[in-house]
Structures are given as structure tokens and as C-alpha cells.
Amino acid sequence: MRHLLCACCCYYALNYAAAKLKTVTRMHWTGESKRFITVGILSALLSFAAVNLTPLYWLSERVTDGLLRKFRQVSHPDLTLVVIDDESLRALGRFPFDRTVYARMLDRLKAAGAKVVAFDILFVEPTPSDKALAEAMKRFGKVILGVNLSLKSEGKVPRRFLLSPDFPLPLKVAGATLPPEPLLSACYSLGFVYPFPDRDGVCRSLPLAVELTEAGGVIPSLSLAAVMAFLGEPQMSPNSIRWRNRVIQLGSDWDIPVLPPFSPERVGFPSISLVKVLEGEFDPELVRGKLVLVGMGASGLSDRLPTSTDPLAYGVEIHGAAISALLTGKFPKHIPFWLQVLIALAFCIPASGSLLLPRFHQSLLAFVGLTLAAYILALLLLRWGFVLALMPLLLSLVMAFVVATGLLLEIQRFALERIRAYVAQPVTEAIASPQEMLRMGERREITILFSDIRNFTQIAATLPPYEVVGLLESYFNRMTEIVRIYGGVVDKFLGDGMMVLFGVSFGQTDHAQRAVLCAWQMLEELSAVNWEWERVTGSPLRIGIGINTGIAIIGEIGAEWRKELTALGAAVNLAQRLEQLTKDLGAALLIGENTYYKVADLVVAEPLEPMTVKGFDQPIVAYKVTGLTELGQQIRRSILATGV
């Protein structure tokens, strides 16, 4: 049933992730989307590798410990603890007690009907009271003594205390430190009490048995020996242990998780003070027919270790947690590694792919949502008895989002570099800098330049397409470089013509002068490309340029997904009409009246008769530019020298 719940939870997690991914990839399956999905996959794999192959593993264990503190360990009703607490120390004096104390305790427990007693206390040195305790043990019957493991053999362990599984165990030691002979002969079984903490000092699991290399057998833990005395002999396999129809899945060290319930003031299991047992001041129903575990629980004693659920658990609580897990069969099981990686992939791919959403705040919300969903999934799985390693999952999520953000920035940087090939530098700077973005629909005085190649339509009709493209590319390369030098913005290419704006760049008040000087430079530059033009077309290259200055609406014009920086208004229309008039009037460069007033000292120009043009009710006055004055030549040289 638990595996079914785990599978269902994973199914819903995958469905959630798939929905996110579907939202992210509404666009066509492009190379960019593949790169973001690849980032998600690699982030998950690298995060799991980093956590499991580096010291980050121990940090991951601590994070999992924090998660396990939310697991409610159920104490089996057949388990009761008798603890040597502070009250017992005040009543009985200094520890260790005379062993007749334990003999009296056993008699009291037998009278109350206890079934099994296990001592999480070491009886190492012989004492005069061993005989009294041994006799009490014989009277009780099923008494389990705790022993310590040793790196060297300190006596032969009787065969009746050893297990004989038909498979090797992963943990091996030389031998065990046995109790004095009277106690050894009187006890029902032995079990080691060493808790086997991890390298960081935290006891997270308890091996149920270890192999004694010099004794030629397997000694059980105190927990397993006690449960075997209580339930009988189990069926053992390399990865599980079974009592009747209850199967306990074990870890790689033939171990079981220990999760003692946290209690800051006393042990977390149902317990009775030792002194209360000795005085008979306890309810016999608390121990009748039950397994009783005896150990230390006083604040002044040092038998304490950190566990996943308790920062300082008593040794008796650790063994109590193992016994309770064996009796109930209920403890959280770690999800297989491959399934954890699959879950991480299900979250990381949408996390990295979320950067393809139209707005970054949407990507950030998606990342936060995925992170919360991962945490909630871990809590739900824990509630159903499964442990999902939270740190590699969260680390892979963060890595996927951060790396994908870096990839997005790199793509945008590359896109901005490509934009520079199409848009003048001032515009790209305005696009990249929120502080200097052009306001939508701003009215501003600017100068507009239109240029066009004479008779290009007829020329293009007689040439192969590749030669037409080559000629235009050579021509536009020259012209746009000149526009860039004079601070203009190529608004758009109109077939073989151009629309150029001056005054769009912030602080450019001399836009009229720059536009006229740029136009004259363009006319002079024709000689540099004429040789190739004449070779291909058989005729010289001739262009016409119209310039006008006036108030225009400039800004980002267009739809939500496609915008361009452009200018609108009568001033723009007049500049285009002037460019069209150059052909009829046989002029290379015509400027409007407003432009002339701003550049009169820079150019040699002659006024033309007022004329009526399409779109204007009143006749307009234009000027035909035939050269530059000395001042104009000087300013042009300054711009060419400094680029400003």
C-alpha cells in the first residue's frame, strides 16, 4: 500500500511538472528550449553527484534529519522502559548500583507479569552480588544482557547466543566483552549495545547484527535479541527480516532506522522510574505481558547520542526506537536513488525551462512554486512512510534556475550584440538601460534624413539576385558607417533607400548640423563604391537625399511582440517628399526651411521656388545644398577626428 501511495504521489508530482513544462514550451521546439531543458537535466545529475560524492553528503544528512523530525514515531504498546532517572539516583545513591538492586527489580517485574527484560546496561566486572542477580534472572526467565563489541576476542561467546544466517553480514568485529560467568550462564540471550553512529556523530540507524570473526558466528543487537525473545525466531534474508506475515525491510548494513521521539524533560517512550519499580509503586498493567527495556535516563549520566529526531537521545531511547520499529514495522523508508533522481528531473526541467516565460517575475514565481511543491512532496511522502532526500532536490532546483538564468543572460547579451548590427548604438544603450528608455509617444524636435538610389528598380531587374544583394550590401555598409560616425540612427531600410533619424540620442541638440554634414559625406563617399557599381551595372551610382527638421512623435511603435523605434509626423513626411523631389529637380541634396535656418552658416545652398507637395496644403520652401562653408568643413573634420 505504501509503495502505491509513493507511486501516486510521484505521479502527481510528474503531472505537475509536466503542466509547468507545457506552459513553458508553448513556443516552437527550438535550439534554445533544448538548451534550457539540458540545463535542467545536467543540474539534477550534477547536484546528486555532488551531494553523494563530496562532504556535502553530511550536510544533506542534516537536512534530512530536520525533515525526519516531522515524522511521528509510534511507540508499540508492548514496549515499556524502566529508567534510571534523577529520582532513582537520589534514592539509591551513586551509580553504578549494587546488582541486588536489579535482582529486586526483576522480582517486581516478574510479579507484575512482564514477559521479557532487556538490560541496556553493561555488567563487565564481577561483583559479590552477581549470584543474587543470576538467581533473579533464572527466576524471571527471559532476561537479555547487553554486551560491548571488541576489536579483539576477550572470551568465547557461547553458541546458544549466536545466530546462524545463511548469508554474510556487511559489518564484522573480532569479538565481544562478556559479562561475568554467573550472569552469562543465567541470561536468556546477549545483544550488543553499541549504536554505530555515523561519521558526523549522529546515530541514524542501528545494525541488527554483526559477524564475530573469531567466534565464527553472528551476534544480534540488544534490540533484535529482545524482540526475538518476545516474538520468537524470525526468518532472515540479506535485505529483510520476517516474523510471520510482518516483513521488515533492512538497510545496506542490515540496519534499521532509529527515530526516538523527542522529549526535552524525560525519555520519549512510556516509562517507569527504577525506584518506583523497586518500591512497587507502579501499575502492573504497564508491564504485564510486555517487553521491558532497562537503561539510563538521568541528566547526569553520559549515555547520550544525537539522532535524527533528538539532538541528545539516551541510549535506552535509541534501542527503544529500534525495538518499537521491529514490533510495529512502521518506520520511514528511503526512496530508491533512481526514483529520487527521476523526481529531481521532473522538477528541474520546468525550473530551468521557466526562464523561457515572457517575464522574469513569472519565472521567479514558477521557481518559488516548484520549490514549495518539492518541500510539500517531501512532507507528504514522509507522512506516508517514505524519505525523500531534500537537499539534493533543492540544490538541483537552485542550480537549474541559477544556471538557466546565466544562460538567459548570455543569450540576451548575444542578442543585444546582434541588435547592434541593426540598430545604432544609442538605441541599443537605451534598450539595455531602464534609466534611459525612450518614453512612449514623446514629442521632440528631430532631423529626418531620407536617401534613395536613382533608377535602382530598373537596374535590379537586369541583374542576378546575388549581384543585387552584393551591391546593396556594399553600399549600405559604407552609408551606415557614415551615419554611425555622425550619431544618426538608421530607423529602417526602404528597399534601396534609408530612413535616418538625428536627435534621437539623448543630449544631441546639434542634430540638424549632423544630418546635413552626414548627407554631404554620403555624397562624397559615392566615389569609393562607384567603381564596383559601374563595373556591374555599366552606369554610375547616383543617390538623392532629403532632410527636414521639425517636431515628431518618436518612441517604440508597434505590437506587443514586435516594436521598432521610429518617428511619425508631418516633419517626417516632408523629409520623404524632399527626397522624392531630388529626382525631379536634378538635385543630390535638398533640405527643408527649418533645417536651413539651423545650418545656414555651414552650407552653401540656394533657395528654390515655393512648391506644393502631396500631403501639405501650403507651399513649402526647400534649399538645394551645393557645398559646405569653411566652418562646415571645420566641424566635419572635428566629428571625423573625434567621432563625437
Q: Check residue 382 and give its pLDDT.
A: 85
Q: Are residues 44 and 94 in the same domain?
A: no
Q: Are residues 619 and 606 in the same domain?
A: yes
Q: Check residue 31 and give its pLDDT.
A: 60
Q: Are residues 307 and 338 in the same domain?
A: no
Give dist(CA 406, CA 445) in Å, integer. Answer: 40
Q: Are residues 127 and 40 in the same domain?
A: no
pLDDT at 532 over 90: no
Give dist(CA 237, CA 104) in Å, integer. Answer: 39
Q: Which helix (H) or strand (E) holds 501?
A: strand 497-502
Coil vs helix vs strand at 314: strand
pLDDT at 561 over 70: no
Question: Considering 279, 296, 331, which residue would you say is the last residue of a domain?
Answer: 331
Question: Considering 380, 403, 426, which residue would you say is the last residue of a domain?
Answer: 403
How many CB atoms within 10 Å of residue 150?
Answer: 18
Q: What phi and psi, each to the nearest 5 degrees, are found at residue 468?
A: -60, -45
Is position 206 within any domain? yes
Q: Check residue 17 and give its pLDDT.
A: 47
Average pLDDT (407-430) is 69
Strand pairing class (116-122; 143-150): parallel
Neighbour-count burial of 160, counting CB atoms closer than 10 A to its CB (0-12 exposed, 13-18 middle, 19+ buried): exposed
pLDDT at 627 over 50: yes
Sheet with 217-220, strands from edge to edge, namely 172-173, 209-212, 217-220
Average per-residue pLDDT for the chain? 85
Count how many domains the chain has.
3
**Which residues partner with 438 through β-bridges?**
none
Q: Are 534 and 491 in contact (CB under 8 A)?
A: no
329 band by pLDDT with thresholds 50, 70 and 90: confident
Helical spans, DSSP H, in 384-439: 390-419, 425-432
pTM of the model: 0.65
129 band by pLDDT with thresholds 50, 70 and 90: very high
Question: Considering 379, 403, 427, which residue would you say is the last residue of a domain?
Answer: 403
pLDDT in tens, 359-372: 888 888 988 999 99
Neighbour-count burial of 342, counting CB atoms closer than 10 A to its CB (0-12 exposed, 13-18 middle, 19+ buried): middle
Q: Report which residue type is found at 317.
A: E
Give dist(CA 105, CA 128) in Å, integer. Answer: 18
Is position 423 within any domain? no
429 band by pLDDT with thresholds 50, 70 and 90: low
pLDDT at 135 over 90: yes
Using alpha carbons, select from 201, 198, 194 the residue that is nearest to residue 220: 194
pLDDT at 407 over 90: no
Q: Are 63 and 96 in contact (CB under 8 A)?
A: no
Length of the chain: 644
Q: Are residues 322 and 339 in the same domain?
A: no
Highest mean pLDDT of the ranges 65-69, 220-224, 294-298, 610-614: 220-224
Give dist(CA 15, CA 533) in Å, integer. Answer: 63
pLDDT at 433 over 60: no
Distances in Å between the Cα of 564 and the Cα atoms of 200, 412, 473, 503, 504 are 61, 18, 22, 16, 13
Q: Are residues 345 and 364 in the same domain?
A: yes
Distances in Å between the Cα of 462 and the Cα atoms of 465, 470, 530, 554 are 9, 14, 18, 39
Q: Are residues 42 and 134 in the same domain?
A: no
pLDDT at 425 over 60: no
Give dist(CA 524, CA 627) in Å, integer. Answer: 11
Highest mean pLDDT of the ranges 352-356, 369-373, 545-549: 545-549
pLDDT in tens, 630-644: 999 999 999 888 866
pLDDT in tens, 100-115: 999 999 999 999 999 9
Query: Which residue in this structure is represented by grid cell 540471550?
Result: 189
Q: Are 522 and 545 in contact (CB under 8 A)?
A: yes
Is position 526 within any domain? yes
Q: Are residues 135 and 29 in the same domain?
A: no
Using alpha carbons, select from 578, 78, 629, 566 the residue that is nearest to residue 326: 78
pLDDT in tens, 174-224: 888 899 999 999 999 999 999 888 888 888 889 999 999 877 789 999 999
pLDDT in tens, 11-34: 444 454 445 444 444 444 456 778
> In which domain, by residue range, is 143 found?
79-331
Distances in Å between the Cα of 82 and the Cα atoms of 273, 278, 303, 332 are 6, 11, 15, 27
Q: Are residues 55 and 129 in the same domain?
A: no
Q: Are 204 and 198 in contact (CB under 8 A)?
A: yes
Q: 29 or 70: which carries more pLDDT confidence? A: 70
Give me 209's grid cell. 547484527
Is position 412 within any domain? no
Instruction: Supply the CATH number for residue 613's domain.
Output: 3.30.70.1230
Does residue 234 have a cis peptide bond before it, meaning omega lies within 30 degrees of 0? Answer: no
Is position 432 within any domain? no
Q: 449 or 328: which carries more pLDDT confidence? A: 449
Q: Check residue 307 and give its pLDDT.
A: 85
The dihedral built from the CA positions of residue 409, 412, 414 and 417, taken in this order, carries a sign that is: negative
Q: Check residue 451 and give its pLDDT.
A: 95
Q: Check residue 283 and give its pLDDT.
A: 92
Average pLDDT (488-505) is 88
| Least confident residue range of 54-58, 245-249, 413-417 | 413-417
Q: Check residue 58 and give its pLDDT.
A: 83
Q: Are residues 295 and 327 in the same domain?
A: yes
Q: Check residue 1 and give its pLDDT.
A: 46
Q: Are residues 395 and 282 in the same domain?
A: no
Q: Which helix (H) or strand (E) holds 596?
A: helix 593-599
Q: Are residues 92 and 65 in the same domain?
A: no
